[in-house]
Structure 1
């Protein structure tokens, strides 16, 4: 097993994010347990950096939080401070510059939707705001029974902007998604499972083992088929039935030709 950090020789605690590689499995860990893994732009920069330096043979990425919570969301001390990425500084940028800055933040989250990998969020405790959106950008969400989701941006007068709104609406339907975003209320693990936000819910003591078993099952499947299936399903909502049928035909043609050696 090898370990990667923000940059060669940089301790994980300086960025607040670390990752471990174990063959085709990468584990990305939010490592600020003393503040419930509250997120900062430095953490987002490292998450985006990890996406660029992962080896090409990685098939599964597990995202987890150290300590008792997955992530308490945006670190308000940074948001309300005077750094380059504070809300005050963002407000001083032109609309185009502000949108570009936010696009950079989004890159820390959206790579988790890449068809070439399957991503799993292992969620315990709170996953609030940016923490909730980080979990939403993953393909699968395994929740401990003490997990709680909340889209709390509205309590700051803000909107969710880290790639979570589309997945939320797809999973719960637009009406429920609107209610979740407008109220900022806490969603317990059992409700999350009932409304489609959780892939499964397990006792907290079984979270790591359940994620390991799920990862093993994914790794056991054919890599090419896994990528094609993820692409088919992730794009299904944008296609008509006829378009999806065509996408299935084309994907299956690629698989048959690759498996039988007729890919020229």
Structure 2
């Protein structure tokens, strides 16, 4: 379950040490930690990290299989979380030290900056291989957060990008050795802690207005039949 620590003015949100899949409990825990961060006074930034092989392996498919009647509301709660993250009124950095797949990869993209482990771990949007189309809101979010040609390749081929490949493709902002991913992310975030919070939130809300409108619209969930 998501934990929260602090390094000076930089809050560190830890997704956990497992596959860190998204289910209702995980979404609620992340939102609760974000509530704590946004309520804190003074200069601040947020780094989201995880321990182990995975940063986030996307949706909790086992939970979805066991709860078919709740899939729609759950998926919408994830979309709303993405809308919240991409417009958060403070600087954010994803310290991606392990695999980020599917919705986990999209969660990484909702941060202002991303740093990946250089030698292991993939960024991947595998929806084309698992027969689940991207919603309009998610599509617009991905288009807004990476070069269009890269978005096309990532979304239509399901390519797995290692750290160097993701950096070259314009998906992420930096790479680091395993033991330096978190420290690098914190170092990226720390100089930005003094930015004007209200103005930053307004800028991000306007910058990603199209994506956010799609994410919060309540678009029907498409699943394989």
Secondary structure in 1 aligned to 2:55? coil
Match of 2:49 in 1: 64
Tell me, yes or no, if the aligned pair for 1:44 and 1:108 is still in contact at 8 Å.
yes
**2-structure distance, mates of 1:228, 1:154:** 37
Q: Counterpart in 1 of 2:27?
A: 44
2:5 pairs with one of 8, 11, 20 = 20
- Specify which structure has the bigger relative contact order, considering alpha-carbon pairs within 8 angstroms and separated by 6 or more residues: 2
More displaced, 166-175 or 133-142?
166-175
- Which is higher, the Rg of structure 1 or of structure 2? 1
Maintained 8 Å contact 2:90/2:200 = no
Matches of residues 126-205 of structure 1 in structure 2 within 5 Å? 126-145=99-118, 146-161=120-135, 164-205=138-179
Q: CA RMSD in A?
A: 2.8
Please say if residues 90 and 195 of structure 2, whose CA atoms lie closer than 8 Å, have aligned partners that are also in contact: no
Q: Distance in 2 between matches of 1:237 and 1:27?
A: 24
Structure 1: stretches of 5+ with no match in the other structure: 1-15, 92-97, 240-264
Please give the TM-score of this superposition, normalised by the length of structure 1: 0.68
Deviations 1:26-72 (A, max 9, x none): 21111242xx2222221012212222333242621111112122112
Does structure 2 conserve the Cα–Cα contact (< 8 Å) formed by 1:48 and 1:109?
no
Aligned to 2:213: none
Q: Which runs of 5+ in 2 are unaligned?
A: 211-225
Distance 1:111 1:180 in 2: 23
CA distance in 2, matches of 1:223, 1:213: 15
CA deviation map 1:115-138 (0-9, x unaligned): 521111000121001110110111
Quick one: structure 1 residues 234 and 173, their matched pair in 2 at CA, closer, same or farther if it must change by over 3 Å?
A: farther
